[in-house]
A and B are shown apart, each in its own frame.
Chain A
Amino acid sequence: MKVSYYPGCSLHSTALEYDESTQEVCQILDIDLNELNDWNCCGASSAHSTDEILAIELPLRNLVTAEEAGMDLVVPCAACFQRLKVAEKHIIEEKEPAIETSYQGKVPVKHLLDFFSEEENLKVIKEKVKKPLSGLKAVCYYGCLIVRPPEITDAIDHENPQAMDELLTLLGAETYPWSYKTDCCGGGLLLSRTDIIIQLSGKLLQMAEESGANCIVTACPVCQVNLDTRQAEISKNLGKEVHFPVFYFTELLGLALGSEEVGQWLERHIADPSDLLKSKNLL
Chain B
Amino acid sequence: MQSESVIVPDHTWLAEVGKSSGENASDCYQCLKCSSGCPVTFAMDYLPHQIIHMIRMGLKDEVLKSSSIWLCTSCETCTTRCPNNIDIAKIMDAMRMTSIKSGLKVGEKRVPIFHNTFLSSIKSKGKVYELGMIGKYTLKSGDAVSKLKSGSLFDEAKLGWQMFKKGKLKLFPKKIKGRKEIKRLFKKTGEEA
- Name A residues whose Cβ lies closer than 8 Å to a Cβ of B: 9, 12-16, 38-41, 43-54, 57-58, 61, 96, 144-145, 148-150, 158, 183-184, 186-189, 191-196, 199-200, 229, 232-233, 267-268, 270
Cβ distance B193 to chain A, nearest Cβ, rounded Å = 7
Q: Please give 4 more A-B residue pairs, beta carbons under 8 A apart, in addition to A50-B115, A144-B75, A188-B114.
A: A40-B176, A49-B93, A50-B191, A268-B166
Some 15 contacts from A to B, beta carbons below 8 A apart, are A16-B167, A38-B126, A41-B127, A52-B93, A52-B97, A57-B188, A57-B189, A186-B39, A189-B73, A189-B111, A191-B134, A193-B43, A193-B108, A193-B110, A196-B43
A144 near B76 with CB under 8 A, answer yes
B168 near A16 with CB under 8 A, answer yes
Convert B32-47 into 0s and 1s, putting 1 for each residue whose CB lies closer than 8 angstroms to a CB of A: 0000000110110000
Could you say which of A45, A58, A96 contacts B22, with CB atoms under 8 Å apart?
A: A96
Cβ distance B187 to chain A, nearest Cβ, rounded Å = 10
- B65 contacts partner chain A, Cβ-Cβ < 8 Å: no
- B30 contacts partner chain A, Cβ-Cβ < 8 Å: no
B80 near A192 with CB under 8 A, answer no
A54 near B128 with CB under 8 A, answer no
Could you say which of A45, A54, A268 contacts B191, with CB atoms under 8 Å apart?
A: A54
B-side interface mostly: helix
Could you say which of B152, B174, B182, B189 contacts A51, with CB atoms under 8 Å apart?
A: B189
- Name B residues whose Cβ lies closer than 8 Å to a Cβ of A: 22, 39-40, 42-43, 71, 73-77, 79-80, 87, 89, 93, 96-97, 100, 108, 110-116, 118-119, 121-122, 126-128, 130, 134, 137-138, 141, 143, 152, 155, 159, 162-163, 166-170, 174, 176-178, 181-182, 185-186, 188-191, 193
A52 to B153, CA, bound (A): 34
Cβ distance B47 to chain A, nearest Cβ, rounded Å = 15
A270 to B39, CA, bound (A): 25
